[in-house]
Amino acid sequence: MQLLIIGGSDAGISAALRAREVDPSAEVTVLLDDDFTNYSICGLPFYLSGETPDWHSLAHRTEFEGIAIRRGHRATRIHTAAWTVEVQSDRVGACSFHYDKLLIGTGAGPVRPHVQGCGLPGVFPLHTMKDSFAVSEYLEKVKPGRAVIVGAGYIGLEMADALTHRGIEVTIASRTPTVLATVDQEFGSLVRAELEHHDVKVETGVEVHRIEQAGDHLHVVGSNGFEQECEMVLITVGVKPHSELGVTAGLKTGTKGALLTNRKMETEDPHIYVAGDCGETWHRILSRYTYLPLGTTAHRQGRTAGENAVGGNREFSGSLGTQVVKIFDLVIARTGLRHDEALAESFRPFTVESTVNDHKAYYPGASPLTIRVTGDFATGRLLGAQVLGRWGAEISKRLDIFATGLFHEMSVEQLSDLDLSYTPPLSSPWDPVQMAAQQWSRSLGKSKTEAIKAGHE
Amino acid sequence: MQLLIIGGSDAGISAALRAREVDPSAEVTVLLDDDFTNYSICGLPFYLSGETPDWHSLAHRTEFEGIAIRRGHRATRIHTAAWTVEVQSDRVGACSFHYDKLLIGTGAGPVRPHVQGCGLPGVFPLHTMKDSFAVSEYLEKVKPGRAVIVGAGYIGLEMADALTHRGIEVTIASRTPTVLATVDQEFGSLVRAELEHHDVKVETGVEVHRIEQAGDHLHVVGSNGFEQECEMVLITVGVKPHSELGVTAGLKTGTKGALLTNRKMETEDPHIYVAGDCGETWHRILSRYTYLPLGTTAHRQGRTAGENAVGGNREFSGSLGTQVVKIFDLVIARTGLRHDEALAESFRPFTVESTVNDHKAYYPGASPLTIRVTGDFATGRLLGAQVLGRWGAEISKRLDIFATGLFHEMSVEQLSDLDLSYTPPLSSPWDPVQMAAQQWSRSLGKSKTEAIKAGHE
């Protein structure tokens, strides 16, 4: 059994490892278009901040026993009838690889916005190892004093932190009304305050139109009178799926042009699987497919595809959109649906924000957690949660209690039935997760009572 | 509706608050035999270490709106036919309280071991606020240089930390083969090493026989040649239920003399509920009652009883034995069944220990977590988990992912289906919980293959 995998990042390598684990006799080959096998893209901001001095350490894995890794092998065409993939390689020229099963794990690439001057020196996307080397070289050589970051998503905010860490003055320009549109605006405002506290200039509601060379610096111009001089611009406005190879092989696409699969990661071609950022994602709460490119999802989809490619019968359990980011000293985590996301679906979201200490106040070092719980007004079902607080307050794994609850379709009320761990330096007899859930229930009860009263008057 | 509650600690106060929340018209009275309403017993070691300077801050709550709190009111007898409770009070003398519903939440008290000299000055139990005041006064006045702690459970080890924090030389004497018998011995050994690293002397397999006054110090003598001079002895060898009041009211007892209830916290007397450490606990994995006194459980049982006492219909969701403790810089957490506990039941436990970093090694400050996963060899069901590592590595709430998985009867394999949060400073694309689960599955596969081979030879 020959399993050929196009792409050697999270999805591709997870699939390769799982396939070998399930069927040690499988011949697994991974084609990489660059030289970087399963590097952590999420780690690039820390490499560029200087916190991770050696980029080699960004490799998620360095052992690929039993897997044939072909670096610098760019797949150019899939021949579905012949079960072969055409490959272009600088080292060995054009060649062809046979497959019994093929996995497309080509990932995603940065969206190029309609901004004039994107090609100027000093203007960079940031998605690949190669991008990061270019940025790193520029930082070392030019030593920019000011940077503009276009976009206020995860990577943009992490880079604002990273460049500030290097002593660079940072301005963020974002189209969105606040930063970090993946959480409720109330949280976005708190994140913005943290950025500003660290002297990052935040300009929201700004559409960047053009970047001009002006002597030894760059001049960035946007809507609402936005103008900023700087020596460096980072464009971080999201990603789009690398689905071209699949499309030319006749595979169908859906949301944002991502390749379609079923929950077994199979395509309409019985020999081809798709996993990771080039394909759609089954959303566990929405019970439908969407586009939600994340490294964690790519790992899980890859593992599912790898198992099924060698004869397994596993279904991808779906995504909840669970994410966490650390910006300076603040950690912000989310899972499930935001209030507005739930509203756009067939839910009737009810959201309550609580602030509770991460552990008993009598033990030194307690810090407040702000927790937003979104549940359905009618059914009481938990729909999503967001947690924000200081780094070190077990925010990420606390959020995961909500994520595990969502996985099992728990009601908000049922969270108080969980037997969670407590010691005064680390929690309270009711964990903050449960206190927030109880606050949600109390607010719901009050709101329902008021609704009934209003109806009777 | 008059709800009378005997006991104003975790169970009693949780019940009172929940009853008022569900039925604001309920008249709720709480009888306390001392003056300390819902103080955190778990906080006593931190008060005695000096980390929590003001004991007043140990109160879990200070607001009891709408609840009549009767301090210094000791319930002496329940008249089940008359629906009254006889009370003795230093302030108002003997009196009687009527109830429509009664909750017994009398808690537990320390076990007094068969040790001669337990009554000597300088020898203390540690369970109540009053105990802690006596210890505190002794610490201030006598300024002991050496202490012996009899027992190596949670409170004993926390007190070893606390007294070391005060500059006292500590010796632990325990009957058990290692410390912290609530986790597997492999973890007990690691905890012992942490204690010894902080100059705590640990003597295991020792039965303390007697304590003698010898001039200005105490002489502690035990089995296996144990002899230790000191100025202070703490006896922390576990607790037993305060079930006497219930027994004289005709209620039945079970494990360790704890009062029997059903999952609604009802007793055989339709007017009497029981919650907290004076009663048994329904164990969610064992599907039967056991004795497992914990503050978290008392809170949840109390909430259930309070809701049901005013007409609710809630079932206690059960205990998983989830616990966490911080000893010096080490955090140790457990949930579900230990290997030996599972073996004693109808399970076929298979336990695998893994060591993985809490977050990506390329981001500064990564530290190893040791994770023990116990699952059923035949069914793959998750039975329990234990996590040990450095304080700050999100151990407690990571353990809670296992606890939430156990709550939902997940298989070990299914843990990899969870959508958990990841950012390099806080986790890995597969959370350590999932990496440990995958290691368990791999070890199981290997073990099954070997078993088959052995069978065929």
Model pLDDT for residues B251-309, shown as the tens digit of each residue: 999 999 999 999 999 999 999 999 999 999 999 999 999 999 999 999 999 999 999 99
Find all residues with CB under 8 Å of A239, minimum gap 6, and list them.
Answer: A108, A109, A110, A111, A127, A277, A293
To the nearest whole Å, the CA of A171 is away from the closest chain B CA by: 23
A contacts of B335 (beta carbons < 8 Å): 419, 421
Q: Which residue of B has its CA nearest to A11?
A: B429
What is the rounded distance in angstroms from the CA atom of residue B376 to the CA atom of residue A14? Answer: 26
Residue B457 has pLDDT above 60, yes or no: no
Q: Do A426 and B331 touch (CB under 8 A)?
A: yes
* Tokens read off for B160: 């070893």
Residue A173 has pLDDT above 90, yes or no: yes
Residue A454 pLDDT class (50, 70, 90 cuts): confident
Q: Do A362 and B42 touch (CB under 8 A)?
A: no
Task: Choose, out of B10, B303, B407, B419, the residue to mutate when testing the contact with A (most A CBs < 10 Å).
Answer: B419
**Nearest CB to B407 within list A396, A418, A429:** A418
**Nearest CB to A396 within list B303, B362, B427:** B427
Q: Do B397 and A401 touch (CB under 8 A)?
A: yes
Residue B62 has pLDDT above 90, yes or no: no
- State residue B455's pLDDT score: 80
- The residue-averaged pLDDT of B351-370 equals 97
Query: Measured between alpha carbons, how far is residue B456 from residues A438, B348, B446 in Å?
Result: 57, 22, 15
The answer to whether B33 touches B75, Cβ cutoff 8 Å, is yes
B contacts of A297 (beta carbons < 8 Å): 419
- State residue A455's pLDDT score: 80
Q: Do B46 and A424 touch (CB under 8 A)?
A: yes
User: Which 3-state string (H, E, C) describes chain A?
Assistant: CEEEEECCCHHHHHHHHHHHHHCCCCEEEEECCCCCCCECHHHHHHHHHCCCCCHHHHECCCCCCCEEEECCEEEEEEECCCCEEEEEECCCEEEEEECCEEEECCCEEECCCCCECCCCCCEEECCCHHHHHHHHHHHHHHCCCEEEEECCCHHHHHHHHHHHHCCCEEEEEECCCCCCCCCCHHHHHHHHHHHHHCCCEEEECCCEEEEEEECCEEEEEECCCCEEEECEEEECCCEEECCHHHHHCCCCECHHHCECCCCCCECCCCCEEECCCCECEEECCCCEEECCCCHHHHHHHHHHHHHHHCCCCCCCCCECCCEEEEECCEEEEEEECCHHHHHHCCCCEEEEEEEEECCCCCCCCCCEEEEEEEEECCCCEEEEEEEEEECCCCHHHHHHHHHHHHHCCCECHHHHHCCCCCCCCCCCCCCHHHHHHHHHHHHHHHHHHHHHHHHHC
Q: Residue B219, Cβ neighbours under 10 Å: how many?
A: 16
A contacts of B407 (beta carbons < 8 Å): 417-419
Reduced to 3 states (helix: H, G, I; strand: E, B; else coil), residue B303 is helix
**pLDDT tens sequence across A103-121:** 999 999 999 899 999 999 9
B93-98 and B84-89: which strand pairing? antiparallel
What amino acid occupies position A216?
D
Helix (H) / strand (E) containing B73: strand B73-79
To the nearest whole Å, the CA of B176 is away from the closest chain A CA by: 23
Reduced to 3 states (helix: H, G, I; strand: E, B; else coil), residue B234 is strand
How many residue pairs bridge chain A and chain B with CB atoms within 8 Å of each other? 215
**pLDDT tens sequence across B127-166:** 999 999 999 999 999 999 999 999 999 999 999 999 999 9
- State residue A453's pLDDT score: 87
Task: Choose, out of B23, B191, B397, B449, the residue to mutate when testing the contact with A (most A CBs < 10 Å).
Answer: B397
Find all residues with CB under 8 Å of B350, minimum gap 6, and list them.
Answer: B374, B375, B376, B377, B440, B443, B444, B447
Name the CA radius of gyration of chain B, rounded.
24
Mean pLDDT, rounded, of chain A: 96
Residue B91 pLDDT class (50, 70, 90 cuts): confident
Residue B13 pLDDT class (50, 70, 90 cuts): very high
According to DSSP, the residues that pair with A89 across neighbouring strands are A73, A93
B contacts of A296 (beta carbons < 8 Å): 419-422, 429-430
Residue B100 has pLDDT above 70, yes or no: yes
B contacts of A421 (beta carbons < 8 Å): 296, 322-324, 333, 335, 396-397, 399-400, 403
ipTM of the complex: 0.97
Provide the chain A residues 123-182 that lie in CB contact (below 8 A) with chain B.
Answer: none
- State residue B268's pLDDT score: 97
Query: Measured between alpha carbons, how far is residue B65 from residues A81, B33, B37 in Å?
Result: 76, 20, 13
The residue behind tokens 């020196």 is A121
**B5 secondary structure, DSSP code:** E
**pLDDT tens sequence across B305-336:** 999 999 999 999 999 999 999 999 999 999 99
Provide the chain A residues 309-348 that lie in CB contact (below 8 A) with chain B.
Answer: 317-326, 331, 333, 335
**Nearest CB to B51 within list A364, A404, A408:** A364
Residue B5 burial (C-beta neighbours within 10 Å; 0-12, 13-18, 19+): buried
- The residue-averaged pLDDT of B348-354 equals 98
Task: Choose, out of A400, A427, A435, the residue to mutate when testing the contact with B (most B CBs < 10 Å).
Answer: A400
Angle at which helices A185-197 and A154-165 pack, to 10 degrees? 10
Residue B110 pLDDT class (50, 70, 90 cuts): very high
Q: Do A407 and B418 touch (CB under 8 A)?
A: yes
Residue A88 has pLDDT above 80, yes or no: yes
- State residue A226's pLDDT score: 98
Q: Residue B419, Cβ neighbours under 10 Å: how many?
A: 25
Residue A186 pLDDT class (50, 70, 90 cuts): very high
Q: Do B420 and A408 touch (CB under 8 A)?
A: no
Helix (H) / strand (E) containing B192: helix B185-197
Query: Measured between alpha carbons, how far is residue A169 from residues A50, A232, A395 in Å?
Result: 16, 10, 29
Q: Residue B386, Cβ neighbours under 10 Å: how many?
A: 26
**pLDDT tens sequence across A355-371:** 999 999 999 999 999 99
Name the CA radius of gyration of chain A, rounded.
24
Q: Is the pTM of this model over 0.90?
A: yes
Provide the chain B residues 4-43 that lie in CB contact (below 8 A) with chain A.
Answer: 10, 21, 40, 42-43
What is the rounded distance in angstroms from the CA atom of residue A156 to the CA atom of residue A167? Answer: 17
Q: What are the φ/ψ torsions at residue A200 (nearest 5 degrees)?
A: -85, 130
What amino acid occupies position A172?
I
The answer to whether B161 touches B49, Cβ cutoff 8 Å, is yes
**Nearest CB to A422 within list B321, B324, B428:** B324
Closest CA to A237 of A115, A65, A382, A75: A115
Reduced to 3 states (helix: H, G, I; strand: E, B; else coil), residue B243 is coil
What is the rounded distance in angstroms from the CA atom of residue B439 to the CA atom of residue B445? Answer: 10
Q: Do A421 and B408 touch (CB under 8 A)?
A: no
Q: Do A326 and B21 touch (CB under 8 A)?
A: no
To the nearest whole Å, the CA of A42 is away from the closest chain B CA by: 7
Mean pLDDT, rounded, of chain B: 96
**pLDDT tens sequence across A324-364:** 999 999 999 999 999 999 999 989 999 999 999 999 999 99
Chain A touched by B264 (CB under 8 Å): no
**pLDDT tens sequence across A40-53:** 999 999 999 999 99
Residue B456 has pLDDT above 80, yes or no: no
A contacts of B296 (beta carbons < 8 Å): 419-422, 429-430
To the nearest whole Å, the CA of A120 is away from the closest chain B CA by: 31
**pLDDT tens sequence across B204-213:** 999 999 999 9
What is the rounded distance in angstroms from the CA atom of residue B425 to the CA atom of residue B360? Answer: 7
Helix (H) / strand (E) containing B306: helix B295-309
Closest CA to A198 of A143, A158, A142: A158
Provide the chain A residues 346-405 that lie in CB contact (below 8 A) with chain B.
Answer: 360-364, 391-392, 394, 396-401, 403-405
To the nearest whole Å, the CA of B220 is away from the closest chain A CA by: 31
% of chain B exceeding 90 in pLDDT: 94
The answer to whether A147 touches A231, Cβ cutoff 8 Å, is yes
Q: Which residue of A has its CA nearest to B336?
A: A419
What is the rounded distance in angstroms from the CA atom of residue A230 to the CA atom of residue B369? Answer: 44
